């Protein structure tokens, strides 16, 4: 058997071989089924729901399944779907059919349980299994609000099997796997982290630069920036506010989803948070990062962090999935638009708008959608100010001088604007979710000093996650609800929706790209 690959709340079965399905030699107690149970964190003694996994082997047209007592109808339906072959050519077709079946089954089970509870009430005692003399275990009722059905599809290999009918279907998407799974039962806010006192600064920077060979004197030089803020980065307090606001919003919307918080580089460290989630019994969590864009540090590196934290937590660790980027979501764009309108009040027509984001090595930019997403977001925001030219500049670069990074640097760009006769500029830091150190130091201190030197009036727009803006919090809630309902995220741009989960190998790091 090829081991299932855990990709979050969906477990994709690449190939599940049941060689003796027809004779019943393999069943719910087989090695294959037990491996699958472990991947799904399934507890047979006290299940949250019954899991029925159906894997379809397209090569021989047979079905193997891990059969856990109930939902035989799903196996029957799966066989029917295989018989339909290419007629089931979309994921949503399969989901609709199976969801309908599950809903009908759930209603029947609910009625059965209600009847049983009435019987118990009438007789004054618990239901007893016939001939066994013990209380029947019912578990938690299955209902459509707790269930999602996922169909994992794969294209038929080019050229088919050699049969003419197979070659004719070679470009069609074929049903590969049906999965009946539990919804997410927690949300994880995942961020960068920052020091919260002078003694934290150097250890924090050592975490950030671990393995990069940065000299201690350079770390002390960067650490001096934090002295202007008493050694405290604003990011942790901003994350506390975001977490609290998101929890309140989810509660108000009727979602029983605790919101956890973990960081890549400082306390609460992600490893500790995932261990706490494990101890709290969390099985599947949806992670939302404080990064709106696709890039190695903003996307793939967080995946690496999640994988490492799950491995460190060991057996019982929750499966964790990560949301799509939200750079073009109305809840991210609209607060910037309003901030820009306010900043432009009273300034002359033609005042330049400068959007900024964290610079990254050009090699990384070439292997991700980072720059195109940023330019798309900038254009969406600049639409409200047609009388003002706009540009995109970069900030906060680090690393060896000989490694090319995205340019121009914001300070160089301000000098260019002043040289061209500009007397004022408005900075919109769209690359950042909240006003953390890259904003309050690199822009409010360093860029402001450059503007003062040039005689340039400078205004800066606030980021939506700082307080946070209610629309930003609603966006986070919408991301959660979108994944729960298996719908596309809200978007203001024409860019194609990023895949969920991320494609393997997306946003590669320095060593792979």
Specify the pairing of strand 390-395 against strand 352-358.
parallel
pTM of structure: 0.70
DSSP-derived letter for residue 181 is E
Q: Which residue from 363, 449, 440 is spatially nearest to 396, judged by alpha carbons?
A: 440
Residue 102 burial (C-beta neighbours within 10 Å; 0-12, 13-18, 19+): buried
Mind listing the pLDDT tens digit for each residue in 457-480? 999 999 999 999 999 999 999 999
Mean pLDDT in residue range 336-340: 98
The pLDDT of residue 198 is above 90: yes
User: What stretch of H or E contains 220?
Assistant: helix 216-227
User: What stretch of H or E contains 43?
Assistant: none
CB-side neighbour CA atoms (13 Å) of 373:
27
Mean pLDDT in residue range 373-396: 97
The pLDDT of residue 42 is above 70: no
How far apart, in whole angstroms, are the C-alpha atoms of residue 183 and residue 284? 7
Q: What is the pLDDT confidence band of residue 511, given thresholds at 50, 70 and 90?
A: low
How far apart, in whole angstroms, are the C-alpha atoms of residue 382 and residue 260? 35
CB 5 within 8 A of CB 179: no
Q: What is the pLDDT confidence band of residue 119, given thresholds at 50, 70 and 90?
A: low
> What domains appear along the chain, each with residue ranges and CATH number?
5-181 (no CATH), 187-327+469-485 (3.40.50.1400), 330-460 (3.40.50.1400)
The pLDDT of residue 21 is above 90: no
Mind listing the pLDDT tens digit for each residue in 436-459? 999 999 999 999 999 999 999 999
The pLDDT of residue 496 is above 70: yes
> What pLDDT is attached to residue 283?
83
More confident residue, 18 or 180: 180
Q: Look up tokens 């680090």; give the residue.
A: 398
Three-state DSSP class for 176? strand
Specify the pairing of strand 390-395 against strand 319-322.
unpaired
How far apart, in whole angstroms, are the C-alpha atoms of residue 389 and residue 311? 49
Q: What size, in residues, is the chain?
A: 513
> What pLDDT is attached to residue 118?
59
Mind listing the pLDDT tens digit for each residue in 202-252? 999 999 999 888 889 999 999 999 999 999 999 999 999 999 999 999 999
Q: Which residues are CB-neighbours of 110 under 8 A, at least 6 positions away?
A: 141, 143
How far apart, in whole angstroms, are the C-alpha atoms of residue 334 and residue 464? 9
């Amino acid at each position: 058997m090829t081991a299932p690959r855990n990709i979050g709340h969906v477990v994709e079965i690449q190939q599940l071989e049941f060689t003796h399905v027809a004779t019943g030699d393999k069943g719910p107690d087989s090695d294959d089924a037990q491996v699958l149970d472990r991947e799904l964190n399934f507890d047979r003694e006290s299940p949250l729901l019954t899991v029925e996994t159906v894997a379809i082997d397209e090569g021989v047209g047979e079905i193997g399944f891990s059969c856990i007592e109930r939902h035989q109808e799903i196996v029957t339906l799966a066989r029917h779907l295989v018989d339909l072959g290419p007629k089931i050519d979309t994921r949503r077709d399969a989901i609709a059919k199976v969801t309908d079946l599950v809903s009908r089954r759930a209603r029947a089970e609910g009625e059965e349980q209600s009847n049983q509870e009435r019987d118990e009430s009438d007789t004054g005692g618990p239901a007893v299994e016939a001939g066994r003399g013990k209380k029947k275990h019912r578990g938690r009722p299955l209902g459509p609000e707790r269930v999602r059905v996922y169909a994992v599809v794969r294209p038929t290999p080019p050229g088919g099997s050699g049969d003419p009918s197979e070659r004719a279907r070679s470009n069609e998407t074929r049903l590969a796997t049906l999965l009946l799974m539990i919804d997410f039962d927690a949300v994880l806010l995942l961020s960068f982290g920052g020091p919260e006192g002078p003694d934290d600064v150097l250890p924090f920077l050592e975490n950030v630069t671990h393995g990069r060979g940065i000299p201690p004197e350079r770390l002390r030089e960067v650490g001096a920036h934090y002295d202007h803020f008493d050694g405290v980065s604003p990011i942790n307090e901003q994350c506390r506010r975001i977490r609290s606001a998101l929890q309140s919003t989810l509660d108000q919307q009727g979602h029983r989803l605790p919101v956890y918080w973990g960081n890549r580089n400082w306390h609460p460290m992600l490893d500790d948070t995932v261990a706490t989630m494990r101890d709290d019994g969390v099985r599947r969590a949806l992670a939302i990062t404080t990064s709106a864009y696709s890039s190695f540090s903003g996307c793939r590196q967080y995946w690496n962090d999640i994988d490492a934290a799950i491995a460190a937590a060991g057996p019982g660790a929750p499966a964790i999935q990560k949301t799509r980027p939200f750079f073009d979501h109305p809840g991210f764009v609209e607060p910037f638009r309003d901030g820009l309108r306010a900043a432009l009040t009273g300034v002359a027509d033609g005042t330049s708008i400068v959007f900024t984001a964290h610079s990254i090595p050009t090699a990384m930019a070439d292997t991700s959608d980072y720059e195109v997403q940023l330019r798309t977001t900038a254009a969406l925001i600049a639409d409200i100010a047609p009388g003002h030219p706009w540009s995109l500049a970069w900030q906060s670069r680090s690393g060896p001088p000989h490694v090319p990074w995205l340019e121009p640097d914001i300070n160089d760009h301000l000098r260019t604007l002043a040289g061209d006769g500009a007397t004022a500029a408005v900075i919109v830091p769209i690359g950042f979710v909240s006003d953390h150190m890259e904003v309050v130091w690199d822009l409010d201190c360093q860029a402001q000093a450059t503007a003062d030197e040039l005689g340039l009036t400078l205004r800066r727009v606030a980021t939506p996650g700082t307080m946070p803006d209610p629309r930003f919090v609603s966006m986070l809630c919408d991301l959660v609800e979108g994944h729960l309902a298996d719908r596309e995220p809200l978007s203001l741009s024409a860019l194609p929706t990023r895949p969920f989960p991320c494609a393997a190998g997306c946003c590669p790091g320095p060593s792979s790209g």
